[in-house]
Structure formats: structure tokens, C-alpha cells
């Protein structure tokens, strides 16, 4: 089968032929239809992601497809069932074998492209806002990188949870995507001062930040007392340093969010969140935004869209 594969630690990934996997006990074999790209894929290529597998491995963290077979003594979805899976790796291939406890049946109305774009982006934002920040209706949420794969979902979920949402992104087109997702106020990070505008709007109670760098610093200085800051990632390439004395003075909390980490020590947080999110999707309350759908042959182009921040929402690769 074809796969976007890293064959050795010092080599770049290539599309190559590798053996089709056979499901072991507790695993489900899936014929993959689509795979969502994530900034973490770029970090894995550089060996900088916190959960980078040892080479050789196939890239691709979240997929959708159809169950082909179950491993020995494994009771799971019947062959032919449409499923979404967060595997952490192995998704940019024609077939994959994944642990049964990571397989979720898709709503009937959900497309494969939407399902491949759904789990990490919506899961990260829901766990961050509902579980970690425990955001309440009426609070003000500042979303940095608001037109990116996770940023748009934070805008959308923030509105569903009753927050006033301030969306920060770079350029008119990206801000329009955030407005369509439900943002109440817009800030152009290219031309406007984040701190000044957020303060003029009453300050931020919750900050959702997949960017880091200078934008984190500006948001930090625009926080209200008892605000909660959520570092989601560092797309700017700069991990911000946090002045603990400022946390103390304003009673601010910084709450790290690594969605995939919950699968290791509290998987019920992830499964409960996905149950809620799939229910919202089935009710028509969530609308995944996929800006690019590309074939496997163009996966490098899709990753470059993420690297250069040219995409809005998610980039999905079809198999």
C-alpha cells in the first residue's frame, strides 16, 4: 500500500510502498478514506513533537474510513462501519490498524473529510475551554490564531458555550472566516495592537493560544484578574516565558492543554468530550471548516500550507 513514510530518523518522509498491516488483538483494521493534517505532523518530521514515534513510521494523526476487519478475539464495529480514529500516527496511508478504544463511529450525515478534520481540532478546543478553563457563559474569550485548524473551532465552541469571543488572526480573509464561525470582535494581528483593543473591550477572562511568541505576551497583558491562559501550541516558533510574579499579582492561571495526553491517563475526558461534540454535530451546531482537500500525492503541499499559515481551518488528505 502507499504511505507517507519516514524510513529512518535522519530521512525526510516520502510516498512509498510498504506492507499492508494486519490487525492484532484489540485492534481494528481501517480502509482509510481521509486524513487530517496537523501542525504536529510538521514537528514530527523535525523530531520535535513530544510524542514523535521512533522511525520507521507513517505520518498522519487522525483519520476517517471504513472498518475492514477486527483483530483476533476483538469485539468492535462490524466490517463496513464508517469510523473516525485518532491513531497518533499511521493515517497517511491506504490502510491502518488502530487500537479499538480510539475508534469512534461517525454520524450518518458526516462526510469522511469532515470526520478527518474533526477530532483533534474540536476535541482540543472543547477539552481546553470546558474541562481545563471551565469557561462560563458571559465570560470573554480571546482566541489567537483564530483562523487556523484549532482556532476556528475555539471560536465556534466558545460561542456555543455562551462566551463573548474576540478573534485574532492575520488578514481580512482569515478574519472573515473567524467572523463566520461566530466571533463577536475581530483583531488583525498584522496591523492592530492586540493588548489595546482587548483592554478596550473589557479584557480577557480566557485566552486560547496556539501561536505563542509576541501574541502571547500581548494577550497576557490584556488579561483580567483570575483569567485563565491556555497554551495550545507555538505556531510562531517561539515558546513564551511566563513571568510568575505577574501571575501572582493578577491571580492568573496558566493551564497547559495536550489533548492526546488524556488518552494515556484519563481517556474518559476525551471520550466524553467527543460524545458531546458528535452530538452537537448531529444537531447541526458544529460546521467543520476544511479549506483544502488534496490527494496523497500532494501531501507535501498540504503540509506547506500549514507551515506558511496559508490555510484556514483544516487541510485534509484523501486516500
- What are the tens digits of pLDDT across the range 10-43? 889 999 999 999 999 999 999 999 999 998 999 9
Which region among 89-93, 253-257, 288-292 has the lowest average model confidence (pLDDT)?
288-292
Q: How confident is the model at residue 9 (pLDDT cuts 50, 70, 90)?
A: confident
Residue 260, pLDDT above cutoff 90: no
Q: How confident is the model at residue 144 (pLDDT cuts 50, 70, 90)?
A: very high
Residue 101, pLDDT above cutoff 90: no
Q: How confident is the model at residue 246 (pLDDT cuts 50, 70, 90)?
A: confident
Name the CATH superfamily, with its identifier, for domain 2-118+288-318: Medium-chain alcohol dehydrogenases, catalytic domain (3.90.180.10)
Average pLDDT value for residue range 5-9 = 92
| Residue 48: burial class (beta carbons within 10 Å; 0-12, 13-18, 19+) | exposed
Q: What is the pLDDT of residue 148?
A: 86
Q: What percent of the chain has pLDDT over 90?
A: 78
Q: Can you give the residue ranges of every domain in the chain?
A: 2-118+288-318, 121-260
Name the residue with cell 469571543.
165
SS3 151: helix
Options 3.30.420.10, 3.40.50.720, 3.40.50.300, 3.40.390.30; CATH for 121-260 is 3.40.50.720
The tens digit of pLDDT for each residue in 106-122 reads: 888 899 999 999 999 99
Alpha carbon 87 to chain centroid, angstroms: 13
Amino acid at each position: 500500500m502507499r504511505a507517507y513514510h519516514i524510513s529512518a530518523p535522519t530521512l525526510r518522509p516520502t510516498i512509498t510502498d510498504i506492507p499492508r498491516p494486519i490487525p492484532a488483538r484489540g485492534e481494528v483494521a481501517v480502509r482509510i478514506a481521509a486524513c487530517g493534517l496537523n501542525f504536529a505532523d510538521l514537528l514530527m518530521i523535525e523530531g520535535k513533537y513530544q510524542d514523535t514515534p521512533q522511525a520507521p513510521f507513517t505520518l498522519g494523526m487522525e483519520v476517517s474510513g471504513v472498518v475492514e476487519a477486527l483483530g483476533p478475539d476483538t469485539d468492535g464495529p462490524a466490517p463496513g462501519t464508517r469510523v473516525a480514529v485518532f491513531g497518533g500516527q499511521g493515517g497517511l496511508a491506504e490502510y491502518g490498524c488502530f487500537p479499538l478504544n480510539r475508534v469512534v463511529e461517525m454520524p450518518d450525515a458526516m462526510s469522511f473529510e469532515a470526520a478527518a478534520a474533526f477530532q483533534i481540532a474540536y476535541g482540543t478546543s472543547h477539552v481546553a475551554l470546558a474541562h481545563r478553563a471551565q469557561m462560563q457563559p458571559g465570560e470573554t474569550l480571546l482566541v489567537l490564531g483564530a483562523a487556523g485548524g484549532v482556532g476556528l473551532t475555539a471560536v465556534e465552541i466558545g460561542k456555543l458555550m455562551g462566551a463573548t469571543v474576540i478573534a485574532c488572526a492575520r488578514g481580512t480573509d482569515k478574519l472573515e472566516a473567524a467572523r463566520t464561525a461566530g466571533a463577536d470582535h475581530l483583531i488583525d494581528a498584522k496591523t492592530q495592537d492586540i493588548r489595546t483593543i482587548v483592554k478596550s473591550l473589557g479584557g480577557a477572562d480566557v485566552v486560547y493560544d496556539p501561536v505563542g511568541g509576541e501574541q502571547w505576551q500581548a494577550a497576557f497583558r490584556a488579561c483580567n484578574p483570575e483569567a485563565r491562559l491556555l497554551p495550545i501550541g507555538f505556531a510562531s516558533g517561539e515558546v513564551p516565558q511566563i513571568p510568575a510574579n505577574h501571575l501572582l499579582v493578577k491571580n492568573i492561571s496558566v493551564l497547559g492543554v495536550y489533548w492526546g495526553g488524556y488518552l494515556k491517563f484519563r481517556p474518559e475526558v476525551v471520550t466524553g468530550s467527543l460524545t458531546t461534540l458528535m452530538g452537537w454535530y448531529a444537531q447541526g451546531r458544529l460546521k467543520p471548516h476544511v479549506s483544502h482537500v488534496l490527494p496523497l500525492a500532494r501531501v507535501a503541499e498540504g503540509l506547506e500550507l500549514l507551515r506558511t499559515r496559508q490555510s484556514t481551518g483544516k487541510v485534509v488528505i484523501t486516500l
